[in-house]
Amino acid sequence: MQFNKPLEVGILHQRYKRFLADIEFAAQPQSIETVHCPNTGAMTGCAEPGYKVWCSVSDNPKRKYAKTWELAQNFASDWIVINTQRANQVAGEALQQGLITELAEFNEWLAEQRYGEQNSRIDWLGESNTGAKCYVEVKSVTLVEQQCGYFPDTVSARAIKHVQELEHMREQGHRAVMLYVCMHSGADHVKPAAHIDPKYANACINAAQKGVEFYALSTDINEQGIRATGVLPVMLSHE
């Protein structure tokens, strides 16, 4: 995916109240502006004061905050995607391009489709020429420790629910996929974060044993856009 307009660059002062961040933009030095932070996670390692950041700008006059925090660069020069909505876009492009060869039979992909007994929404629903279906749940990975990308970055009952819903789809005979999009340039593999949410990690192991598939995508990130570049290993274990 490409950003529609050039991003504005600045320095992060603080992220607070989950959805807000104060940034000093290069175009207006010494002046602090509040922007929208589209990320509900803990953002561990993603929001340290002094990080270089990039924001998109909306033309919508009804918005309270015109700018949206999109990217950050940490002190090790790793790129991080802050806007979690970008993960679905990147995943959709990768699926449509057949980047994950194990899913290449599915040549039509539909976003945000309702499914399951709880009338949930699946991020991507794939259909093949034979009528087979593949349900793909996308997760944005931004927590990286020693080159390992972890999900989630905080305890998440919602994330466990998504794993269980994929299990149900698999039980009905469909392909079911958990797809981690690594939105951090410093990772070379992905794991469920057992040290943060052991219940989620166990749910993933149980789901894999029942046929749910786990994949992860590496990404190239810069101020022009974000694109998936390949498949990373996903390691499921009780450790």
**pLDDT for 197-208, tens place per residue?**
999 999 999 999
pLDDT digits (tens, 9 = 90+) for 121-138: 999 999 999 999 999 999
pLDDT at 212 over 70: yes
Residue 189: name the closest of 238, 151, 135 by CA: 151
Q: Is the dihedral of CA 7, 11, 12, 13 positive or negative?
A: negative
Task: Write the pLDDT tens digit of every residue in 60-85.
Answer: 999 999 999 999 999 999 999 999 99
Please say whether the beta carbons of 198 and 158 come within 8 A. no
Instruction: Choose among 75, 86, 9, 68: nearest CA to 45.
Output: 75
175's tokens: 């392909």
Copy the structure tokens of residue 101. 């060869």
Identify the residue whose tokens are 């992220």. 15
> Where are the extended beta strands (E) located within the chain?
8-16, 20-25, 32-36, 52-57, 67-73, 79-81, 106-115, 120-128, 133-141, 143-145, 148-151, 175-182, 189-192, 213-222, 225-232
State the average pLDDT over residues 133-161: 97
Q: Percent of the chain beyond pLDDT 70? A: 99
- Report all structural domains of the chain as residue ranges with CATH numbers, in order of start: 8-81 (2.40.50.580), 85-232 (3.40.1350.60)
pLDDT band at residue 239 under the 50/70/90 scheme: low
**pLDDT band at residue 238 using 50, 70 and 90 as cut-offs:** low
Q: What is the mean pLDDT of residues 51-61?
A: 96
For residues 92 and 80, what is the distance between their CA atoms, to the nearest angstrom? Answer: 19
Can you tell me which residue has the tokens 């175009």? 27
Instruction: Please give the model's pTM, rounded to 2 decimal places.
Output: 0.95
pLDDT at 59: 92
Start-to-end Cα distance in the chain? 35
